[in-house]
């Protein structure tokens, strides 16, 4: 059986079914200088640093013709899909729907809500717009994966402890075999990232596996 060298033990590649690359929320407002993330006082260079790693995985999957899924967290312009508890969180700062440095915050179609150009999806690749932290909530992602017999998911993107981890836990509950690529995910808070990786692979991989980009590429062959 082919495997990827990983923690807490080798990740088995599918003998039946397919493996997909999942790229979570690599949006301009989160990664680019002058965007919403930086306006909150975050160091966006931490998130930008993983772009080359994701590009390597993106290229590897494109070369093989394997599925790539990107997600975007965003809401309709009228905010009908944004619960008040989410919009009002954050005290007196900018809220979802407010004008931000790159347009309205977390609103679909605004410049800041777009995926960064360096990782722009190709026309045949899937983009899931999600109104929550997890990519399975109120989307058709589960149905899409099952209709294409996808059983294994490699997770990348931002932020590790919020949308990436939430989606990975949702996938684990639905029976997908999940691996998070350590150097292709990031947080504004390095300690949060490290804690998340340890939680995921604890207790014999209670949520899934962790591995580096080089380990993944070597395992894929």
Active site residues: 25, 130, 163
What are the C-alpha distances in Å from 138 to residues 48, 75, 163?
28, 12, 14
What are the C-alpha distances in Å from 96 to residues 138, 147, 166?
18, 33, 20
Output the CA torsion sign for 44, 47, 53, 58. Answer: negative
To the nearest 5 percent, what fractions of the chain are helix, strand and coil? 35, 25, 40
How far does the chain reach from its first CA to its final CA, in angstroms?
A: 13
């Amino acid at each position: 059986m082919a495997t990827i060298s990983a923690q807490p033990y080798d990740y088995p590649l599918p003998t039946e079914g397919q493996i997909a690359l999942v790229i979570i929320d690599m949006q301009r407002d989160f990664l680019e200088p002058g965007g919403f993330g930086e306006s909150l006082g975050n160091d966006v260079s931490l998130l930008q640093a993983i772009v080359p790693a994701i590009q390597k995985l993106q290229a590897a999957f494109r070369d093989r013709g394997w599925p790539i899924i990107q997600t975007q967290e965003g809401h309709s312009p009228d905010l009908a899909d944004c619960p008040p508890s989410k919009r009002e969180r954050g005290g007196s700062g900018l809220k979802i729907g407010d004008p931000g440095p790159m347009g309205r915050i977390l609103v679909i179609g605004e410049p800041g809500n777009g995926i960064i150009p360096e990782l722009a999806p190709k026309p045949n690749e899937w983009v899931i717009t999600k109104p929550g932290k997890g990519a399975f909530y109120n989307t058709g992602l589960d149905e899409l994966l099952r209709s294409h017999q996808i059983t294994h998911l490699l997770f990348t993107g931002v932020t590790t402890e919020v949308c990436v981890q939430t989606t990975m836990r949702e996938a684990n509950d639905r029976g997908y075999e999940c691996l998070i690529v350590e150097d292709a995910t990031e947080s504004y808070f390095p300690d949060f990232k490290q804690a998340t990786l340890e939680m995921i692979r604890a207790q014999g991989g209670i949520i899934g596996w962790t591995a580096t980009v080089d380990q993944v590429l070597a395992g894929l062959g």
